[in-house]
Amino acid sequence: MILITDGGSTKCDWIAIDNNGNQAAEKIRTKGLNPAIIEEKKLNKTIKKKKALMKMASEVTHIFFYGAGCGTEKPRQLLKGVLEINFPNALVEVREDTYAAVRASINSVDEAAIVCILGTGSNCSYFDGRQLHQKIDSLGYMLMDDASGNYYGKQLIRDYYFNKMPDTIRLAFEHKHNLEADFIKYNLYKQANPSAYLASFAEFMFLNKDSEYIVNIIKNGIRVFSENMILQFKEEIKTVPVHFAGSIAFFAKDEIIEVAKEYGYTVGNFVRRPIDGLVDYHIKNL
């Protein structure tokens, strides 16, 4: 049995596949397992807490984990070690989440494309048909992650506190979220996963897209992402499509297409949940 995991900062989706390529169990969901921001003890606890995973632990022979925070060696090895402890009979492969987005969004295994992730965090890479290329190392939610869930959450909270929200949106925002300063600061500075907390505010945007204010926030974030991330591949965008993966990208599809016209790149596929494409990829390569 193999486990395929699409791991974000907010949540992880796990799918078990048997040796015949059939799904062996219902999709399992755990909290996020970003090893760049979550300590080893909590990573271990999150996995052990999920009884459905532990029930099959001894049967798992391979784990293909694609995750946020797995783009550098130290956190990648940390998570690999945690998985090996909990699944003692499994060969474990840990890759950054960009590979999941690539394998889930491209139209053929050797298609060249620029692939963007807009979820809790954000990223952008060029896949030449064989290898992945990145020109910028991600510094995470505090300094980068443009147009991500946590980016938009931050924008909304700032606009609320700087009194830049229209009154109707402000009232709706107050109704949906606890906006007391002490509560926000507690979640940002005392809790383990502040990026996921910030990203939880992004849903509000997509429930209020009839507001010009909200649409402008979405577009401005995509413009910043386009300038900082997509346009680093100035030559590549002339000849290859730009694919998007992640929930923020999926719900901001119309705005992304509009901004793409402004910046002169061709939008390709949108994939809300990369896990579905990953399952197809690994079944074909069993």
Hey, how many other C-beta atoms are within 10 angstroms of the C-beta on 211?
A: 16
Task: Write out pLDDT tens, residues 89-132.
Answer: 999 999 988 888 898 999 888 899 999 999 989 999 999 999 99
Instruction: Fill in the DSSP letter of residue 37.
Output: T
* Cβ 204 vs Cβ 198: under 8 Å: no
* pLDDT of 286 above 70: no
Mean pLDDT of all residues in 33-38: 91
Map out the domains of the chain with their CATH numbers: 2-100+275-284 (3.30.420.40)
Of residues 33, 39, 35, the one with CA closest to residue 3: 33
CA atoms within 13 A on the CB side of 4: 28
* pLDDT of 210 above 70: yes
In this prediction, residue 139 carries a pLDDT of 84
pLDDT band at 25; cut points 50, 70, 90: confident
Least confident of 16-20, 153-157, 258-262: 16-20
Task: Write out pLDDT tens, residues 216-257.
Answer: 999 999 999 999 999 999 999 999 999 999 999 999 999 999
Mean residue pLDDT of the chain comes to 93
At residue 246, what is the residue type? G
Collapsed DSSP state (helix, strand, coil) of residue 178:
coil
Phi/psi of residue 51, nearest 5 degrees = -60, -35
Of residues 62, 47, 51, the one with CA closest to residue 1: 62
* Cβ 250 vs Cβ 116: under 8 Å: no
Q: Is 125 exposed, middle or buried (0-12, 13-18, 19+ CB in 10 A)?
A: buried
In this prediction, residue 186 carries a pLDDT of 97
Collapsed DSSP state (helix, strand, coil) of residue 186:
helix
R_g of the chain computed on alpha carbons: 19
Mean pLDDT of all residues in 198-208: 96
Share of the chain above pLDDT 70, in %: 99
pTM of model > 0.75: yes
CA distances from 273 to 105, 119, 279 (A): 10, 10, 11
Task: Write out pLDDT tens, residues 58-94.
Answer: 999 999 999 988 988 999 999 999 999 999 999 999 9
